[in-house]
Structures are given as C-alpha cells and as structure tokens.
C-alpha cells in the first residue's frame, strides 16, 4: 500500500513522512493491531489535524512517532516514520533522545500529570535547554523566563521557582507548551491539548499555539476529537476510524464535501449553536468495533447507512476524490452525489 500517500502535497521532501505504518500490542489475549497501514505526511509549517473517537488510534500514532509506545507490549510492526528524511524507527536510542524535545516537541492532554510535581517549573523547562542547547544553569533559567513570558504566563520571574500545584490548569498547560517549545522544534505534536480545560481557557491556548506557530514557522500535528477545533486551526485533516485513516483532505474538502459516510455522520451528529433547540440529531447507529474483533473488511461496515454487498467482503483502498482529497469507501461517489442533492 506504499503508493497511497495521504493528501501529500506536490513538494517531495516532507518534514514528517509516515509510510504504511502498523502498530501492534502484544497482550495476554494475543496480538492486537491498534493501527493498520496508515500513511500521511506533514510539510514544514503546516497544521494537520488528526480526528477520531476514543480508541481509534490517534494517540498511539503520536506516541509511535516519538517512540514512546508502552513497553514492552507496543511495537511498530510494519512501515516507517521519517523525520527530515531520517528513519525514526531504526534510529539508535541516544539519537532518538536528541530529537525528542529538541526537533519534535510534544504536548499531552493532562497538564496536571505531564509535569513532575516535586520539581520547580523553572527546572522542568531548563532541563531540555541544558540537555539540547548546552546552556549553563543560569542561562537556561533566563531562557525559561523568556519562554514563559512568550506563552503568556504572568510574572514569569516568580513562576519559575513555583511548583505545578501552585498553578491553575490553564497556566500549567502553558508551562507544558513552554517546555515543548523551549528548543524551537520544527514539529509540535499536540495530543488533545485543550480537552481537560474550560472553553474560555481552551480558546486562549489555541490562539497561543496559532501565534507561536506563525512566529516560529513550526509544523503542528493536532490530535483532537473536537471538529470545531479542527475547523478553526488546521490546514489539512486526517479522519481516523478503528485504526485506519478513512479520509484525508484540506479543511474545506472535509467540511464542505465529506466523502466517507463516517465523516458525514460525525459532521451531522454534533450539536451546533445554529441548529434549532430540542431537535433530534442525526446519529451514527451502533458503536465502534472492539479492537479484538476489528472486521477484516471495511471497518465501518456494521454502522454504515450506505453499505453495499461488497463492503462486508473487501477492504476499500484509498481513492482520489481530488488532488488534495482521498477516501477509502466503495460507494463514495454515489454517497457524495446524494448528499449534494
């Protein structure tokens, strides 16, 4: 399946290239395939959204890029991850450690658990500066104050000597972003960066990531289940369902002319401010298949309102809808036509 490059732009050398990646977990119940043959690329400076429901493999994908899959169960069973042309899958561990935190930064969902509770904020930001940029301790502390100021933490001179429990959730997430950005990475992986935060704080953090990205020309892989966040921040979207990418395209491709019945169902089922109150929402029937018994055919088959006979026999390959838009569905042409009527 190597010829399927998801939404790849004409530029050949992508910043990140994930090619035919499969991830397996060895458990007592046997080997479970969390991710099957996914491919996508991210260009320098671009924001790519990875959207899907819990358990679809979004976070596992992010963890595999950073090689922080849970050990010893999790492993990349197939495919490659290339960053600036370097194959991260086969890279020696010390070299991988050099890339983590310096070239690729990562922001996790829970700011409260991502930080060390018994170390000061300043020490935690300084750590990567001392390690990757060879700064002295006073230099690193000064740089930490500067970056805290940049991410909008008030009175950073005082904050560097405080501990995580002294800060609010929104402030902690700013600190986590500060750590991720300290060494000016060219790629930021943000795994549900605002899910644990209140809406007003979420808006602040998303604005912050956008501003920093413009300043630093950084690429962002934004993982979220919230289609609103995707629409407001991303250039391109990857829609994941049960361990596979089922559709990819530009923001306008996905929101204006979704081709996969799952994407259409998702877009229809969210309550919006503009829909009339107390109306019934269109739903996707049933539930996501269990990872233990993913069908060998199209995985959306049992929930699909447009299923055909061959959907339960074969796996749909990725097809081009347009230059920027790809979908894996046998009936997408008919479905899209029907939707536009």
Partner 1 sequence: MAFPLLEVRNLTKSFPVKEGLLMRAKHFNQAVNDVSFFIDPGETLGLVGESGCGKSTLGRCLVQLYQPDHGQVLFKGMDINSLSRTERKQYRQSVQMIFQDPLESLNSRHTIEEILIEPFAIHNTGDRKWRLKKIQTLLELVGLPSNSGSRYPFEFSGGQRQRIGIARAIALGPELIVCDEAVSALDVSIQSQIINLLLDLQAELNIAYLFISHDLAVVKHFSDRVAVMYLGEIVETADSETIYKNQKHPYTNSLIDSIPVPDPHHKAKRHILQGDMPSAINPPTGCHFHTRCPKVMPRCKVDKPKLRVETSSHSFSCHLD
Residue from 12, 71, 200, 340 binding partner 1 (CB under 8 A):
200
Residue from 211, 283, 313, 338 binding partner 1 (CB under 8 A):
283
Residue 179 or 222: which CB sits closer to partner 1? 222
Residue located via tokens 């690329």: 41
Q: Give residues 160-199 in contact with partner 1 (rule: CB under 8 A).
A: 168, 170-171, 198-199
Q: Give residues 213-232 in contact with partner 1 (rule: CB under 8 A).
A: 225-232
Q: Report the nearest approach of partner 1 to the CB of residue 113 (Å).
A: 17
Q: Report the nearest approach of partner 1 to the CB of residue 92 (Å).
A: 39
Residue from 27, 166, 207, 333 binding partner 1 (CB under 8 A):
207
273 binds partner 1 per the rule CB under 8 A: yes
Residue 164 or 170: which CB sits closer to partner 1? 170
Residue 101 or 164: which CB sits closer to partner 1? 164
Q: Report the nearest approach of partner 1 to the CB of residue 67 (Å).
A: 28
Residue from 70, 282, 305, 334 binding partner 1 (CB under 8 A):
282
List the x/- string, 233-272, binding to partner 1 by CB under 8 A.
Answer: ------------------xx--xx--------xxx-xxxx
Asked if residue 339 lies in contact with residue 324, where contact means CB atoms within 8 angstroms, the answer is no
Q: Report the nearest approach of partner 1 to the CB of residue 154 (Å).
A: 9
Q: Report the nearest approach of partner 1 to the CB of residue 94 (Å).
A: 39
Residue 124 or 202: which CB sits closer to partner 1? 202
Distant-in-sequence, close-in-space partners of 220: CB < 8 Å, separation ≥ 6: 46, 47, 48, 187, 188, 189, 190, 209, 213, 233
Number of residues this chain uses to bind partner 1 (CB under 8 A): 46
Residue 165 or 310: which CB sits closer to partner 1? 165
Residue from 91, 201, 216, 291 binding partner 1 (CB under 8 A):
201
Q: Report the nearest approach of partner 1 to the CB of residue 304 (Å).
A: 12
Q: Give residues 19-58 in contact with partner 1 (rule: CB under 8 A).
A: 53-54
Distance of CA 182 to the CA centre of its chain: 20
What is the SS3 assignment for the chain? CCCCCCCCCCCCCCCEEEEEEEEEEEECCEEEEEEEEEEEEECCCCEEEEECCCCCCHHHHHHHHHCCCCCCCEEEEEEEEEECCEECCCCCHHHHHHHECCCEEEECCCHHHHCCCCCCHHHHHHHHHHHHHCCCHHHHHHHHHHHHHHCCCCCHHHHCCCCHHHCCHHHHHHHHHHHHHCCCCCEEEEECCCCCCCHHHHHHHHHHHHHHHHHHCCEEEEEECCHHHHHHHCCEEEEEECCEEEEEEEHHHHHHCCCCHHHHHHHHHCCCCCCCCCCCCCCCCCCCCCHHHCCCCCCCHHHCCCCCHHHHCCCCCCEEEECCEEECCCCHHHHHHHHHC
Where along the sequence are the contacts to partner 1 (CB under 8 A)? 53-54, 168, 170-171, 198-204, 206-207, 225-232, 251-252, 255-256, 265-267, 269-273, 275, 277-285, 287-288
């Amino acid at each position: 399946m190597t010829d399927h490059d998801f939404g790849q732009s004409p530029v050949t050398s992508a910043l990140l290239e994930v090619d035919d990646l499969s991830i397996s977990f060895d458990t007592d119940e046997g080997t479970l395939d969390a991710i099957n043959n996914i491919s996508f690329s991210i260009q320098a400076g671009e924001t790519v959204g990875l959207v899907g429901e819990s358990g679809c493999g979004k976070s596992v994908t992010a963890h595999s890029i950073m090689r922080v899959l849970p050990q010893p169960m999790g492993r990349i069973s197939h495919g490659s991850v290339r960053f600036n042309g370097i194959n991260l899958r086969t890279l020696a561990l010390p070299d991988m450690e050099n890339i983590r935190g310096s070239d690729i930064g990562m922001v996790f969902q829970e700011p409260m658990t991502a930080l060390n509770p018994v170390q000061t904020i300043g020490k935690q930001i300084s750590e990567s500066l001392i390690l990757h940029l060879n700064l002295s301790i006073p230099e690193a502390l000064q740089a930490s104050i500067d970056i805290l100021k940049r991410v909008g933490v008030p009175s950073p001179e005082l904050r560097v000597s405080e501990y995580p429990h002294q800060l609010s959730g929104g402030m902690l997430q700013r600190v986590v972003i500060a750590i991720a950005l300290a060494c000016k990475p060219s790629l930021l992986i943000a795994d549900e960066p605002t899910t644990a935060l209140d809406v007003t704080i979420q808006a602040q953090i998303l604005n912050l990531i956008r501003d920093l990205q413009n300043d630093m020309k950084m690429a962002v892989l934004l993982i979220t289940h919230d289609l609103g966040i995707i629409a407001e921040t991303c250039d391109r979207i990857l829609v994941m369902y049960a361990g596979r990418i089922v559709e990819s395209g530009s923001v306008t491709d996905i929101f204006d002319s979704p081709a996969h019945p799952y994407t259409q169902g998702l877009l229809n089922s969210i309550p919006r401010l503009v829909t009339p109150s107390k109306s019934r929402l269109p739903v996707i029937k049933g539930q996501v298949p269990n990872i233990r018994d993913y069908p060998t055919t199209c995985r959306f088959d049992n929930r699909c309102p447009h299923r055909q006979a061959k959907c339960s026999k074969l796996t749909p390959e990725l097809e081009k809808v347009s230059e920027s838009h790809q979908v894996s569905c046998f009936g997408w042409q008919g479905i899209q036509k029907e939707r536009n009527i």
